[in-house]
Amino acid sequence: MPLLVDGRRVRLPRSAADLVRAHPLLEERARLLRGQSVQQVGPQGLLYVQQRELAVTSPKDGSVSILGSDDATTCHIVVLRHTGNGATCLTHCDGTDTKAEVPLIMSSIKSFSDHAQCGRLEVHLVGGFSDDRQLSQKLTHQLLSEFDKQDDDIHLVTLCVTELNDREENENHFPIIYGIAVNIKTAEIYRASFQDRGPEEQLRAARALAGGPNLSTSPLAEPPHFVEHIRSTLMFLKKFPSPANILFPGNKALLYKKNEDGLWEKISPGS
């Protein structure tokens, strides 16, 4: 079934700018999102999603009420939500394997959804900018095309990507929005930044860094803390060159839960 905007089939391929010109309501939503102030999101109730990660939950979750991600330059942050039961998935996509990622996003939402339930699937795409290598443009096209190929009707509600998320300063281009959060209970999506990126921030960042060909796809557009983030991640990899053997004894997963204060707490083996 097709990708829809306001009940009408989206005609692809076309650029993000052409798409919003054909659907003025998309342009208005992107303008309102760009105009928001950035909210600092605390750790209580937050599940932070790093690059190449996916998280899904529902309003019934008693521990996690906010999903969020930031530091997206050419990357796109994708939110897919079922309006009937509120099941929400947030993914930080970098274009590594979009063809595999989109079906995974769909199946994660369906695992929470009762097909007999009323409601529809709504998708929100945020991120990227007018980068010289046109990596953002390529990822925007990939995501729109892959969602359009899915079996279910998917309603495109927010499109604030690539040229719609671009600002120019001293002849260099930068994203306007680097990060967003979604409130699982209210479905509100807003501009956000995060101090807490746990649990296991360095381990998860090392996984993404070790699996990619570049430290950055757009060095000039990275946020101010990017260099320190890369330095700490490289130091982590130097300290744990084989983390699977040291950090996962017996090949057992590291388990965490939210405590009564809404903060991540490691679960001891056997507890």
Task: Give 54-75 as a DSSP string.
Answer: EEEE-TT-SS--EEEE---SS-
Statement: residue 5 has pLDDT above 70: yes
Query: Among 15, 40, 48, 25, which Cα is nearest to 166's?
Result: 15
pLDDT in tens, 190-223: 999 999 998 888 888 877 766 655 566 666 666 7
For 102, the token pair is 């989109």
* DSSP3 helix / strand / coil % (the chain, rounded to 5): 30, 25, 45
d(CA 60, CA 86): 9
pTM of the complete model: 0.90
Q: What kind and span of H or E run contains 90? A: strand 88-93
Average pLDDT over residues 47-70: 95
- Other C-beta atoms closer than 10 Å to the C-beta of 64 total 16
Query: In sequence order, what are the residues at sequence separation of 6 or more whose Cβ sits closer than 8 angstroms to the Cβ of residue 153?
Result: 1, 2, 4, 120, 121
Q: What is the pLDDT of residues 221-231, one digit of tens each?
A: 667 776 676 77
Share above pLDDT 70 across residues of the chain, in percent, rounded to a whole number: 90
For the chain, what percent of residues have pLDDT higher than 90? 64
Given a cut of 90, whether residue 252 has pLDDT beyond it is no
